[in-house]
Structure 1
Amino acid sequence: MTKPIGHFTSYTINDGSLLDSLQEEYGSTVELMTRREKLYLIQAIAIQLCDQSPGFCRDEIYVVGHQINSSLSLRDREGLLEALINQVRSSNSLPA
């Protein structure tokens, strides 16, 4: 079952924030967005967070990205995306 925006963020009901507006417009679980729109927002947020993170990617990571997109099933790519998000949120990464 999908959890509401507030489960993942600091959103408080009727707080007048952007998250409040998003929930009002697209539903508490953003169910009124298309899959493509959700993936676009994931991409937009990830690019911005990446740009703000210190350091550089090792060359091999670009190769791994290509391998992931060309070799893994849709379900495995979605699962890997979720695993990576969990790692980013818990900060279990090597220092930059």
Structure 2
Amino acid sequence: MSKPLGYYTNYTPGEETLLATLQDNYGAAFEKISKREKLVILSVLASHIGCQLEGDCRAEIFTVAKQITEQLTIADQAGIMEAIIGQIRWGQNFVVSGEPPMEQ
């Protein structure tokens, strides 16, 4: 994260919120959190958000995920993560089985 937390969230400097505490403890750009720790947080957040959505995941997606982890470089895997995060964040997702897109 090269930009400060407020760029990505609703954090406003001076507020006393969890976002303020995170920034105080780990830096405005999470520079005090290791790459491994950031991936753990990302994994937990992805699981939590995924559990909030209705519907099931197509079985083929697990195969695709396995192929990605086995056949692509770490850099390409990280690129896919970035692309998916952008699509989730800004609502550019394919609707499966009549499911409405995730609300922002």
TM-score between both structures, scaled by the size of structure 2 = 0.88
Q: How far has the Cα of 1:94 moved from its partner?
A: 2.1
Q: Which structure 1 segments of 5+ residues have no match?
A: none
More deviation in 85-94 or 22-31?
85-94
Within 5 Å, give how 1:61-72 maps onto structure 2: 61-72=61-72
Matches of 1:10 and 1:67 in 2, distance apart?
36
Matches of 1:91 and 1:55 in 2, distance apart?
17
Task: Indicate the residue corresponding to 1:33 in structure 2.
Answer: 33
Aligned length: 96
Matches of 1:23 and 1:15 in 2, distance apart?
11
Q: Give the secondary-structure state (helix, strand or coil) at the position aligned to 1:28.
A: coil
Q: Which structure 2 segments of 5+ residues have no match?
A: 100-104
Aligned identity (percent) is 38
Matches of 1:94 and 1:33 in 2, distance apart?
33
Q: Does 1:9 align with 2:38?
A: no
Matches of 2:14 and 2:35 in 1, distance apart?
26
Q: What are the Cα deviations for residues 63-96 of structure 1, in whole angstroms up to 9, with x where unaligned?
A: 0010111111011011110000000011111223
Matches of 2:54 and 2:86 in 1, distance apart?
19
Matches of 2:94 and 2:80 in 1, distance apart?
18
Q: How far has the Cα of 1:57 moved from its partner?
A: 0.6
TM-score between both structures, scaled by the size of structure 1 = 0.96
Task: Indicate the RMSD between aligned Cα atoms, in angstroms.
Answer: 1.1
Moved segments of 4+, more than 6 Å: none
